[in-house]
A and B are shown apart, each in its own frame.
Chain A
Amino acid sequence: MSLTTAHSVVAPSSNAKLVAGTIIVAYALISIVPLLWIFATSFKTPPDSIAYPPKIVFQPSIEGYCNLFTTRTRQTPEYINSLGPATGFCDETVRKRNMVIAGPSNFLPRFVNSLIIAFGSTFCAVFLGTLSAYGFSRFKVPLADDLLFFILSTRFMPPIAVAIPIYLMYRELGLSDTALGMILLYTAVNVSLAVWLLKGFIDEIPREYEEAAMIDGYTRLQAFWRTVLPQATTGIAATAIFCLIFAWNEYAFAALLTSGTAQTAPPFIPTIIGEGGQDWPAVAAGTTIFLVPILVFTILLRKQLLRGITFGAVRK
């Protein structure tokens, strides 16, 4: 690595760029291997997935996805032959292993829980966050700095530490293991990020817009609605995606506070067990399906990323 080619007045030499580029590409390729491996494993058969040496070339199969979405029971070949023709891909695939599909698995309901809780809490956090951010940005709020710091500090506490009293409180209120309880909790966690981020965005919208609107006879609320909100759309969208990613990926609260009906996908996926241990193709299939939405958002988001991960403390 050529350290001597640091910044210079002229653009970095093409040689330095080549070295830098090579290292970065190498790092990127190595760091993406585990994800490619997850993706590849999701299309392996269980025996292929645990072959040694690890199989890079294999016959693709959708068995992992079948096992992810169904529960199966082992049957004798005679019994399976006595059944009618297989219905659909999955049925055929599992019959090859002397099994029949007994019913749907819990994956889909858990995935739907993830969707409901992540989108619900994101909506609430962004809604509350936008109002507060506007409040902090445009009005003289007594002790504004302290309040903002208080809002941020709610993120310092380890989730497990918060989980103890929340667990007790939810038990009293009947919110344990409910989607509503999780939405409230994730909203509270995310609202700190939303306020800090959105305050940054709204601070940058000139006050003159609202003042002009108010001179035209609009009320403060109407001015907010008609001038500030449309201007802040990009910021609101970026904030929403950050909140969504957090709520989508969260594990600690979900694992401790939900046990069944309201469980989300992150605590569920590790519990997918096949015959004789973890069913890795099914786990990989679940992981892949779970990661896709986030990958899409990452690509959409890459320009806003910096602000989001630093609570807007770094301005670009």
Chain B
Amino acid sequence: MLNRTADSVARATPEPLARKVRGISDKGLAWLFISPTILLLLAINIFPLFWAIYLSFTNFRANRPNEVVKNLGFANYQRILTDQDIWIAMQTTAHFVFWTILLQTVIGFTLAWLIDRKFRGHAFWTTIILVPMMLSPAVVGNFWRFLYEPQIGLFAYAISFVTGIPPTNIQMLSNVELAPWSIIIVDTWMWTPYVMLICLAGLRSIPEYIYEAAEVDRASNWRQFWSITLPMALPFIMLAVLFRGIENFKMFDMVNLLTGGGPGSTTEVASITLKRQAFESWRTGYSSAFAIILFVAVFGLANIYVKALNKVKQR
């Protein structure tokens, strides 16, 4: 997908000298090398996917394997697409994806832009900033629950120290308004470095001579930023948005440990709904249909997005 150009260059290089060397032909060897991976993916990804598609047309329940399985046709899909709760979960997911991406992109790009100045010790501080993204979201998310505790947590204490609001009023996880933000804050804390790193690569890829030319034309620094820095770094920013978008669409671990979808269902993102339907209510067929819909949605959106990305790249 993203490496197409590199691939075509690689393929344009001359054919290997020896097509057939002692026994196994190159073609045979190629399959020998590739097939284990393909077979594993077929067994662990594709076969289950088809199974899920089959189940999505039935009323199968995984906790009652002996019940007769009825074919429901598209009934599951119909129910999901008309289910109010599912649409609310999708809106919650979209809300998370929007805010986390916006915050991470703005902060991440700003950080990258500042680090690009190469002040003294920038390598060391960059490494420090990168640490949160290397950690387990579940383990760290769980610990943030402690930081968010209104009576004893560091977060509430720090906020009340700065703003003067009594810490008992900073109920990040149990307040309906604040709970979604508690997750957005942790996600942004954790993944901004990721966006920063990709943006940094983008900024470093801009050749210096373009700025030199702009300087000769007496373009102001603002002008240079808007007409050189930002457009040249845009493909990289878009790549970061793509990766974060896919990941946050699937977001599960942090939400599950911080709020578990609550209070009420204010932070119930699609993955949490899916888990509840599949592993708590055991509506396997119904949840399989939801899983397929989600997959098609990610796949479709990602494809449209990659097309847009390629257009930006070609400019």
A27-B129, A220-B18 known; A34 vs B144 contact (CB < 8 Å): yes
A22 to B285 Cα, complex, angstroms: 55
- Pick from B32, B125, B295: contact of A157, CB under 8 Å: B295
A177 interface hit (Cβ, 8 Å): no
B153: A residues at CB distance < 8 A? 54
- Pick from B21, B133, B224, B284: contact of A214, CB under 8 Å: B21
Smallest Cβ distance from B1 to chain A, in angstroms? 5
> Once the chains bind, are A185 and B132 in contact (CB under 8 Å)?
no
B132: A residues at CB distance < 8 A? 31-32, 34-35
B29 interface hit (Cβ, 8 Å): yes
> Once the chains bind, are A158 and B36 in contact (CB under 8 Å)?
no
B114: A residues at CB distance < 8 A? 20, 23-24
> Once the chains bind, are B295 and A161 in contact (CB under 8 Å)?
yes
> Once the chains bind, are B291 and A270 in contact (CB under 8 Å)?
no
- Pick from B22, B44, B137, B140: contact of A185, CB under 8 Å: B44
- Pick from B142, B143, B224: contact of A7, CB under 8 Å: B224
A266 to B298 Cα, complex, angstroms: 26
B267 interface hit (Cβ, 8 Å): no
B122: A residues at CB distance < 8 A? 21, 24
Interface size class of B (residues with CB under 8 A): 35 or more
- Pick from B30, B152, B202, B253: contact of A52, CB under 8 Å: B152
* CB nearest neighbor in A for B284: A164
Interface string of B36-59 (1 = CB under 8 A from A): 111011011101110110010000
A52-B151, A131-B33, A139-B26 known; A160 vs B271 contact (CB < 8 Å): yes
- Pick from B3, B229, B302: contact of A156, CB under 8 Å: B302
Interface string of B283-298 (1 = CB under 8 A from A): 0100110111011001
> Once the chains bind, are B197 and A141 in contact (CB under 8 Å)?
no
Smallest Cβ distance from B194 to chain A, in angstroms? 6
A54-B157, A284-B143 known; A158 vs B249 contact (CB < 8 Å): yes
- Pick from A3, A164, A207, A219: contact of B288, CB under 8 Å: A164
B130 interface hit (Cβ, 8 Å): yes
B169 interface hit (Cβ, 8 Å): no
> Once the chains bind, are B229 and A25 in contact (CB under 8 Å)?
no
Smallest Cβ distance from A162 to chain B, in angstroms? 6
> Most chain-A CB neighbours within 10 Å: which of B24, B45, B52?
B45
> Once the chains bind, are B135 and A165 in contact (CB under 8 Å)?
no
* CB nearest neighbor in A for B117: A20
- Pick from A140, A160, A291: contact of B275, CB under 8 Å: A160
B136 interface hit (Cβ, 8 Å): yes
A12-B117, A266-B136, A283-B143 known; A145 vs B7 contact (CB < 8 Å): yes
- Pick from B26, B27, B134, B189: contact of A298, CB under 8 Å: B134
> Once the chains bind, are A306 and B44 in contact (CB under 8 Å)?
no
* Residues B100-152 near A (CB distance < 8 A): 111, 114-115, 117-122, 125-140, 142-144, 146-147, 151-152
> Once the chains bind, are B33 and A132 in contact (CB under 8 Å)?
yes
A229 interface hit (Cβ, 8 Å): no
> Once the chains bind, are B137 and A310 in contact (CB under 8 Å)?
no
Closest 6 pairs (CB-CB, A-B): A161-B291, A165-B48, A135-B33, A251-B138, A139-B30, A21-B119
A24-B111, A160-B250, A316-B204 known; 8 other A-B pairs, CB under 8 Å? A9-B212, A21-B121, A34-B143, A154-B41, A161-B295, A163-B279, A255-B138, A309-B243
Residues of A within 8 A of B (CB): 3-9, 12, 16-18, 20-21, 23-25, 27-28, 31-35, 37-38, 41, 49-54, 128-129, 131-132, 134-141, 144-145, 147-169, 171, 184-185, 187-188, 191-192, 195-196, 199-200, 203, 207, 210-211, 214-215, 219-221, 245, 248-252, 255-256, 265-267, 269-270, 278, 280, 283-284, 286-287, 290-291, 294-295, 297-299, 302, 305-306, 309-316
List 27 A–B pairs whose Cβ atoms lie within 8 Å, in order of A's numbering. Answer: A3-B225, A7-B211, A9-B215, A12-B118, A21-B120, A24-B111, A31-B193, A38-B143, A139-B30, A140-B30, A160-B271, A160-B291, A162-B291, A163-B279, A164-B278, A167-B279, A168-B284, A188-B41, A207-B13, A207-B14, A215-B18, A219-B23, A220-B24, A252-B256, A290-B139, A299-B127, A310-B201
